[in-house]
Structure 1
Amino acid sequence: MEIGISTFLETTPDPVTGKIMSHAERLRNGVEEIVLADQVGLDVYGIGEHHRADYAGTAPAVILAAAASVTKRIRLSSAVTVLSSDDPIRVYQAFSTLDGLSNGRAEIMAGRGSFTESFPLFGYSLDDYDELFEENLELLLAIRDSEKVTWRGGHRPAIDNLGVYPRSVQNPLPVWIASGGSPESAVRAGMLGLPIAFAIIGGMPEKFAPLLDLYKRAAARAGHNPDTLSIATHSHGFVGDTTEQAVDQFFPPMQAQMNVLGRERGWQPYDRDAFDAARSMRGALYVGDPEYVAEKIILLRTNLGINRFFLHLNVGTMPHREMLRAIELLGTKVAPIVHKELARIES
């Protein structure tokens, strides 16, 4: 059971002071967080790609590369790469470069993106949202699996027996499919025999069980062994020394950012009742002291059988010292509890 962190490197206004952290400061803080995550024994750190003012993570591979030379064992992943609006050759080159710098610790998590700012920014039409992803994923996997590639699609110029370099240290370079919960994504990942990561940010995580079953059945039909495939989930949360402290620190910035997104997407206002319901034992929000967060992760493993969990830090901007403390607690307190209890249950 791997435990790690995902982030979008938020630069949202402080809910108390209104101050906005610069992108440069947030990027430097992000590298420091990766270094600490490595030191406290966490397994993976993922950075999501976004192209808007309230997130600093437009170039995950560059940020992860900055951390590669000052970390030793933690895996370094995008979470996600918006593959629909990127060039698969450049994606492979960026992450194979990261793989070389980190000596085989890079991963790509490919998704279509729930935010669409990258499409007009890079000149793509949202009308081609699904088709672009399917074509680009096909090309990315072809590049990953063969040094020289011949390929033709509908949106990108064809290539004829051309080499793509540098080649990754890992063979093959891990490529995950990231999904917000669509059956089509689960089936696609299963058919391709690729690991999958589900974003579970609302409702009850156990309700994702049918999607996991769909994924495994699709894999089996395509001739892959479902037992060898990795399944991850990603959920919002925060770890404090006490549950009261975690709630007091995490709720204000989360509420502020969720309401910004809610106004953009037509959601209901996010209030304390919604927050408290989500952080209950069967909810999708992992906020509390180390024992409580560990108990929720163990329940998630029991219900869904996942083998990787991403705690998303943070949803709205929080003081850097609070982020570092949450990372420290996740690695030194939460993860050992989870590993010890799972060893007891599953032995």
Structure 2
Amino acid sequence: MTDQLAFGLDTFGDVTVGLDGETLTQPQVLRNVVAQGVLADRVGVDAFGIGEHHRIDFAVSAPEVVLGAIAGATERITLGSAVTVLSSDDPVRVFQRFATLDGLSGGRAEVTLGRGSFTESFPLFGYQLSEYEDLFEEKLELFAALRSETAITWEGRKRAALVDREVYPKTASGALKTWIGVGGSPESVVRAAHYGFPMMLAIIGGSSARFRPFVDLYGRELDQMGKDRLPVGVHSPGHIADTDEQAREELWPHHQAMTTRIGRERGWAPMTRDHYENEAGPDGAIYAGSPETVARKIAATVNALGIARFDLKFSNGTLPHEKMMRSIELYGTEVIPRVRELLAAESS
């Protein structure tokens, strides 16, 4: 299991502050994200994902462009989205953009498709929120057909039909690596199995062990459809520093401000320090602490869910770039090797 286990880092390109407390410009944040991806490659991280947003507190609305810049400055790291909001995009263009990234990077591209937890892209691109579910289902069906990289004939209700059409460029492997992002509904789990896509679980609250029924459901659905078992991954927030206290103190004000801001839009209560400490503890979804603490928590999640991939969302609101760079360095040089050691010792 330790040889197959992969480790990723995810960012949404949050607009951050400098060490002086001043808010950085979005262009500077974009350049910082590129530097973060380059460092992740250098310290041995397996994958780097960038999310898509269309609002003032995030700088990245076109992840593929930023990933392309990182591709030109790296050699081995897998580059993907976290996530691409397929519901408000065109599946043909999404496929073309990531197939292009795949070609430029020498086969290192992947895409994670999702419905999106933010809704700004829907009015921006002329879609109705009332069609939230129908748009994703139909567009996912088309994207699944496009992955065959053969001439396709397809017809739906939300876009023009395709009749014996080829889509270019092709990938060298003949199959663009594609994940489905799942937030916590059984219907989403079944959908991922139906289309034969690996499943990425977004666990942003509570114990990771409570998602075991979803992993089991996914496996049963694949078995019933006669499909091979596919990888399951976990995406969760966190921050790493030299000590537990340092990591939690550095993260707290930025994570609290971010969740409170988003909570006002969604009707959540503001995050309290007690809630934060519980989530940063052994049974919570925030992986904040020293390399040893974070490694042990990741190993526990791997054991609880039997996952093949763990992605740490290292960007957290306005957390400064310099703090994130240190977190990336510790993740690659200390956390990942330590997780592998812990899992190897358990299996011996």
What is the TM-score normalised by the length of structure 1?
0.97
> How far apart, in 2, do the equivalents of 1:154 and 1:181 lie?
27
Q: Which residue of 2 aligns with 1:127?
A: 130
* Counterpart selection for 2:212 from 204, 209, 214: 209
Whether 1:8 aligns to 2:12 is yes
How does 1:179-190 map onto structure 2 within 5 Å? 179-190=182-193
Counterpart of 2:320, as a letter, is P
Give 1:191 shift: 2.1
CA contact (8 A) 2:9 2:314 kept: yes
Report the equivalent of 1:77: 80
- Distance in 2, Cα, partners of 1:13 & 1:66: 23
Q: For residue 287 of structure 1, give the secondary structure of its aligned residue in structure 2.
A: strand
Give secondary structure in 1 for the equivalent of 2:165. Answer: strand
**Residue 224 of structure 1: aligned partner:** 227
Counterpart selection for 1:168 from 161, 167, 171 = 171
Measured in 2, the distance between the counterparts of 1:179 and 1:320 equals: 28
Paired with 1:248 and 1:146, the residues of 2 have a C-alpha distance of 49
Question: Any conservation in 1 of the 2:53–2:118 contact (CA below 8 Å)?
Answer: yes
| Helix, strand or coil at the partner of 1:92 | helix
Give SS of 1:145's match: coil
Measured after TM superposition, the shift of residue 7 of structure 1 is 0.8
User: Gaps spanning 5+ residues in structure 1: where?
Assistant: none
- For residue 147 of structure 2, give the secondary structure of its aligned residue in structure 1: helix
Q: Does 1:137 align with 2:175?
A: no
Partner of 2:318: 317
Displacement of 1:14 after TM fit? 7.2
1:122 aligned partner, one-letter code: F
* Cα contact 2:48–2:77 (8 A) shared by 1: yes
Q: Name the stretch that deviates more: 30-39 or 314-323.
A: 314-323
Maintained 8 Å contact 1:313/1:323: yes
Output aligned runs, 1:249-264, within 5 Å.
249-264=250-265
1:174 and 1:2 mapped to 2: Cα distance? 14
Q: Classify the secondary structure of the residue corresponding to 2:298.
A: helix
TM-score by length of 2: 0.96
Of 193, 196, 201, which aligns to 2:199?
A: 196
Measured on the aligned residues, the alpha-carbon RMSD in Å equals 1.3
CA contact (8 A) 2:296 2:342 kept: no
For the Cα contact (< 8 Å) 1:15–1:256, is it kept in 2?
A: no
Residue 78 of structure 1: CA displacement? 0.4
Q: Deviations over 1:10-32 (max 9, x none)?
A: 01567984x32111111100000
Asked whether the 8 Å contact 2:240–2:288 carries over to 1, the reply is: yes
Q: Which runs of 5+ in 2 are unaligned?
A: none
- Whole-angstrom CA distance in 2 between matches of 1:341 and 1:130: 41
